[in-house]
Structures are given as C-alpha cells and as structure tokens.
C-alpha cells in the first residue's frame, strides 16, 4: 500500500499553504466593495444632472453611492426655503452670489441668462424626463450618501442648517471620503 | 511509519477548503475585465482631444474601450455631411446651435472666436500631431465602442441617421453603460 | 487504520490545485496596486486646488500618487522665476497667454478679473486653509510623481527648464501614464 508513504510534513505544508491562501482571500474580497463614488465639484445644472443620473443608475444596479460635494457644487445642497439665522454678514453676502439649490444652478453652456435652461426644461417635460430635483429626491430615497466637504463649507460660508435633507448631510474631510471611494468600483470627478 | 496516522478527515477538510478557494477565484477574476470607459460630457475640442488620446492609448494597451456620449458631447458624433430628412423644426433649430461634428467644436479656453483653434491646428501640424478627426477614425478602426446616451439624444433632438459611423453608434441608457463600465479598470468623466 | 487508504494521487491532485491557486494569487495581488492617479487637464486655480487636496489626501492614506499634467494644466508647472533661455519667439508669445505657475491661474467661476480669487485667498487665510503653493510643495515632499504630457508640452511650447521642481518632472506619453494608472485604485480626470 503506497498510501502509507505519505509524509505528514507534506500534509502540513499543504495546510500552511491553504491557510495562507485563505488569509489573503478575504482581504482581496473586501478590496473592492460594491460602491460608486462621485466627487461633485462643478455646480452647473447640466453637470449636477449627470451626477444624479449616474448616481441613480448605480443605485438601481445595487451599488452603494457616495456623493462628496465640494467647492461650487456645495451650493447645490442649499435649501431654497431655509435661511441660516445668525450668519455673519460676509457669509450672507457670499450666499447671494451662489445659487440657492441645484434647481437654480445655471447651465455650463448655452445658458443665455436662463433662457437656455428654460428651453431645456420645456424639452425635458415634453420627453417625460424627470427634473433635477426629482432625481435628487430619488437618490435620497434610494439611500445615496451625501457628504459635504468641510473645507469648502467653511470657505464658502455654508451652514449645515441651510441645507436640504434635514441633517442627513454629513460634513467630512477629503481623506475620509477617499478612504471610502478607493474601495469602490468607480470614482468620478464631475 | 508515521504516515499511516494521517486522518482522512484532515484530507477531506483540505479538499473542501481548496474547493472553496477555487470557487471564489474565478469570480474575483471576472470582477475586473480589461476595459476602459469614458463618459464624454463636454463637447469642447480640447476635451474631446483628451477623450480620444486616452481611448487610443488604452486600445494600444489591449483594453476594450467604451465611450458614452452624453449632453454636449453628443454633438461630436454628428456627421458634417449627413442631414436628417424629416426632422421637426424645433430640432432643426436646436441643431444650429450645436457644433456639427467634433472638428467644429470650440476650445474650452483661448478659443478667441476660432482664432485660438486655428493657431492650435497650426502648431499640431508643425509638430506632426494627428488631428482630432484622425484620432476618432483611429479609435473606430481599433474597435472602440461608441454609445450614445438616449436621453441626451432626445433632449438635444439628435437623430441616429445624422451621426458618423454608418450605424455603428449604439443608443443606450446610462444603466447599461454603467454595468459595463463598473467591471473595467478605469472610468473617467471628461 | 483507515489512514493507509489515502491515495497519493489524491494528494498530488491537491498539491497541483494549490499551486494553481498560489500562482494566480500574486497576479491578482498586483492587479490593483496602492496608487491613485489624476489626469490634470484644466488649469484653473480651483480645479488645481482639488487635484492637490485629493493627491495629498491619498498620500496621507499611504497611496502612491501619479499626476499627469496635460493641456492647460501644464502651465501650472511653470516656475514663476525661471525663464527658458533660447525659446523661439512663437513659444515665448504663447507663454504670455498661459499663467506662469499654479498660483497665477484664474478661478473657473467668479474670478471677476482676479477679485474673486483675492477674496477666496482672504477667506482661506482666515480659516487657516493652506494655499495652493503649499499644497503642491507638500505633495512633492510626500513623494507624488509628476508627469508632464509630452504632446502638450510641444503644443504649448513648454521647456523642461522653466518648470518647478529642478528636473523632478518627467515628460512622458499618455500610454506610459495609462499603464501605471490602470493598475491603481482610482483614476480621476480633473
């Protein structure tokens, strides 16, 4: 019976090698998790439309979605109705120059003082394409994570109590966001 | 002979663990396929040049390339010569405002009413750098996949019969594109 | 003793399967290396600020960082002090139109002939946010790799001896950069 000649050392070696493989396997597994992240930088209406179209597409595909609003795009999170009570004069002035909410953002091209956007709105209604506000609402309902770049908020004088979403928007630093984004399948800068 | 003491249970355990590793391996393998995807959003000449330079670089590296044309970049797919026969007046008017093909797109900066672009064209010829149209032609020859965002096409009144490439451009939704893009190695938004 | 019945063939089979797994494992390991790459295309101050904020965040997270400067962003690498000695007239003229260094780049929005940028600078000092030049310096110290797109350098008439960093900026083609970028965790186009 040749079977007797099997060396236990050979067996132990196999066991050690399998353990090594198993140990490295879960690490590989968690390396890529099912998430899509978008750095939202530009505050223009058309680019925000792209952000939320992609976000909702990814949510529909079962991805976790992280949106990091920074610089000009932070203004897209402002709530039309809400006003921050005790805001310094400078921040209040600054707020006058930034669009109050995504719906009021201008087009990046062919805006023509708002006429281009009116025309686009008309085309969208005609073709039954949902408005930007509906897309944002849908993204929130489907559980997209909204992150507000804390540096940009300070820079542009944005207070958390003037934002949409009743406190669901979490201010965070870029490293925190990057840590999440890097594990995902796809990161875009829009 | 110590070899006799090897427990078959230990052996079976090893076999099961290897099977588990093998099963998870092919899944990991297919997670990332060799593809590069670009969401082409901006219709400007310089950004389109970046799109096709990156696309051709990726094709040369043996990657499958998917280009998804949306919003302003859809105009880059228009054929200079072709005209859609029975287009509604509104779409015909809209077409007047969008560049007819990538070659006619303006620069994002220093366009100076076309002068900047003329100058850039002169520099490119001088340094033997291929024109945008050549890059597009090359990308098509090397098998890049062109996708047209169906929502954008409806919005901007684009018909398939006025596009370059004799029907090789496939209109699709964002989710279809995302499904492909997420499996790849790299996704850019340009 | 059942142990005797273990077939050496079964053992060899296991060994072969483990070897196959082990062989494929390192390949998977190297597929994704810990790097973050950014194609820097736009030369605007705010977008460059985003580039270096993300780059420094990624460096802090232990990532290798590759920055590929192309088109308008190449001007961000110009050194304010350095002048190229024997530059053709055309390149010298072209240089007049491009900002001399990242600090001199305009804002993409609300630049107001430089006033908007002055105001932003004031806000940054007030909130203790480091300036763009400091971010670039920090990125260089932490070992970010700077690549200059050779085609863009030729097109915009940039010489290596007028760049920041005393020769640490390496001119390379897009395929070389893509080869590196595709292996990483994240690629952005800014």
**Extended strands (E) in chain A:** 35-40, 64-69, 145-149, 170-172, 186-189
Q: How far apart are CA A15 and CA C137, in angstroms?
A: 50
Which residue in the set A22, A57, A110 is minimally distant from B21, CB to CB? Answer: A22
Instruction: From chain B, pick out residues whose CB is under 8 angstroms from the CB of A5.
Output: 1, 3
Nearest CB neighbour to A41, from listed C6, C15, C50: C50
The pLDDT value recorded for residue A1 is 43
**Quick one: average pLDDT of A21-28?**
65
Q: How far is C161 from chain A (nearest CA, A)?
A: 31
Q: What is the pLDDT of residue B26?
A: 53
ipTM here: 0.82
Q: Do A39 and C188 touch (CB under 8 A)?
A: yes
Mean of the per-residue pLDDT values of chain C: 88
Band the pLDDT of A30: cuts 50, 70, 90.
very low
B interface with A, Cβ–Cβ below 8 Å:
1-6, 10-11, 14, 17-18, 21, 24, 28, 31-32, 39, 41-43, 70-72, 97, 151, 154-155, 157, 173-175, 178-179, 181-183, 187-189
Q: Distance between CA B94 and CA B156 in Å, rounded?
A: 7
pLDDT score at C81: 86
Q: Per-residue confidence of chain B (190 residues) as pLDDT tens digits? A: 444 567 778 888 888 888 888 777 655 444 568 999 999 999 999 999 999 999 999 999 999 999 999 999 999 999 988 887 788 888 888 888 889 999 999 999 888 888 889 989 999 999 999 999 999 999 999 999 999 999 999 999 888 888 988 777 889 999 999 999 999 999 999 9
**pLDDT (0 to 100) of residue A29:** 45
Three-state secondary structure call for residue A104: helix
Confidence (pLDDT) at C40: 97
> Which stretches within chain C are classed as H helix?
8-31, 45-60, 89-97, 115-126, 132-141, 150-155, 174-181
pLDDT above 70 (res C5): no
Span A40-51, mean pLDDT? 96
- What is the pLDDT, as a whole number, of residue C26? 53
pLDDT of C2 strictly over 70: no
Q: Which of B5, B6, B50, B150 should we substitute to test contact with A (largest number of A Cβ atoms within 10 Å)?
A: B6
Is the CB of A5 less than 8 angstroms away from the CB of B5?
Answer: no
Confidence at residue B31, expressed as pLDDT on a 0 to 100 scale: 53
Among A33-37, A157-161, B64-68, top mean pLDDT goes to B64-68
A120 or A19, which is more confident: A120
**Is pLDDT above 50 for C78?**
yes
β-partners of residue C78 are C163
3 state SS of B108: coil
Q: Does A32 sit within 8 Å of B31, measured CB to CB?
A: yes
CA atoms within 13 A on the CB side of C173: 10
Residue listed under structure tokens 């908020």: A153
CB contact under 8 A, B175 and A4: no
Contact C15 A14 (CB under 8 A): yes
Chain A CB contacts of C4 under 8 Å are 1, 3-4
Tell me the nearest-neighbour CA distance from C4 into chain B, angstroms.
5
Strand partners, C38: C67, C188
pLDDT at C176 over 90: yes
Counting as contact any 3 or more CB pairs under 8 A, the partners of C are A, B
d(CA A32, CA A184) in angstroms, rounded, equals 5
User: C37 vs B116, which has greater pLDDT?
Assistant: C37
Residue ranges with strand state E in B7-92:
35-40, 64-69
Cβ contact, residue pair B189, A186, below 8 Å: no
Q: What is the mean pLDDT of residues A94-116?
A: 89
- Residues in chain C with CB shorter than 8 Å from the CB of A189 are 50, 188-190
Higher-confidence position of A104 and C6: A104
Higher pLDDT: A74 or A12? It is A74
* Per-residue pLDDT at C167 exceeds 80: no
| Interface touch A39/C61, C-beta < 8 Å | no
Instruction: Find, among B181, B147, B142, the residue nearest to B62 by Cα.
Output: B142
pLDDT tier, A138 (very low <50, low <70, confident <90, very high otherwise): very high
Chain C nearest C-alpha distance from A55 (Å) = 17
State whether C54 and A154 contact (CB < 8 Å).
no
Q: Look at chain C and count its residues.
A: 190
C52: closest chain A residue by CA: A174
Q: What is the mean pLDDT of chain A?
A: 87
CA gap B73, C59 in Å, rounded: 33
Q: What's this model's pTM, rounded to 2 decimal places? A: 0.84
pLDDT the model gives residue B62: 94
Helix or strand or coil: residue B43?
coil
* Residues on chain A touching B71 (C-beta within 8 angstroms): 46, 49-50
| pLDDT above 80: residue A155 | yes
What is the reported pLDDT for A32? 62
- All structural domains of chain B, each given as residue ranges with its CATH number in brackets, are 33-189 (3.40.1260.10)
Residue C32 banded pLDDT, cuts 50, 70, 90: low
Q: Is A34 helix (H, G, I), strand (E, B) or coil?
A: coil
Per-residue confidence (pLDDT) for residue A110, from 0 to 100: 86
The answer to whether A68 touches A131, Cβ cutoff 8 Å, is: no
User: Which chain C residues are closer than 8 Å to B129 by Cβ?
Assistant: 151, 154-155
CA angle C150, C153, C154 (to 5 degrees): 90
Q: Is B6's CB within 8 Å of C6's CB?
A: yes
| Cβ-nearest to B97 among A15, A28, A110 | A110
Of C175 and C13, the structure prediction assigns the larger pLDDT to C175
Q: What average pLDDT does this structure show over A127-143?
A: 94
Considering only CB atoms, A178 lies closest to which of C32, C50, C58, namely C58
Please check the confidence at residue C22 and state whether its pLDDT lies above 70. yes
Q: Do B155 and A6 touch (CB under 8 A)?
A: no
The answer to whether the CB atoms of C50 and A155 lie below 8 A apart is no
Taking an 8 Å cut-off on Cβ atoms, the answer to whether C6 and B8 are in contact is yes
Question: Residue C149: pLDDT above 60?
Answer: yes
């Amino acid at each position: 019976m040749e079977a007797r000649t099997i060396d236990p050392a050979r067996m132990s070696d196999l066991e050690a090698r399998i353990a090594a493989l198993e140990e490295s396997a879960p690490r590989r597994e968690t390396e890529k998790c099912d998430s899509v992240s978008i750095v939202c930088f530009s505050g223009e209406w058309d680019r925000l439309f792209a952000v939320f179209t992609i976000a909702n597409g990814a949510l529909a595909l079962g991805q976790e979605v992280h949106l990091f609003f920074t610089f000009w795009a932070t203004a897209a999170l402002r709530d039309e109705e809400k006003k921050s009570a005790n805001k310094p004069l400078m921040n209040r002035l600054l707020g006058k120059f930034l669009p109050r909410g995504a719906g009021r953002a201008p087009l990046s091209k062919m805006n023509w003082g708002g006429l281009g956007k009116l025309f686009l709105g008309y085309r969208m209604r005609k073709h039954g394409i949902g408005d930007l506000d509906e897309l944002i609402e849908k993204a929130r309902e489907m559980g997209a994570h909204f992150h507000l770049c804390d540096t940009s908020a300070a820079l542009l004088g944005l207070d958390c109590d003037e934002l949409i979403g009743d406190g669901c928007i979490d201010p965070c630093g870029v490293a925190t966001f990057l840590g999440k984004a890097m594990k995902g399948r796809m990161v875009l800068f829009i």
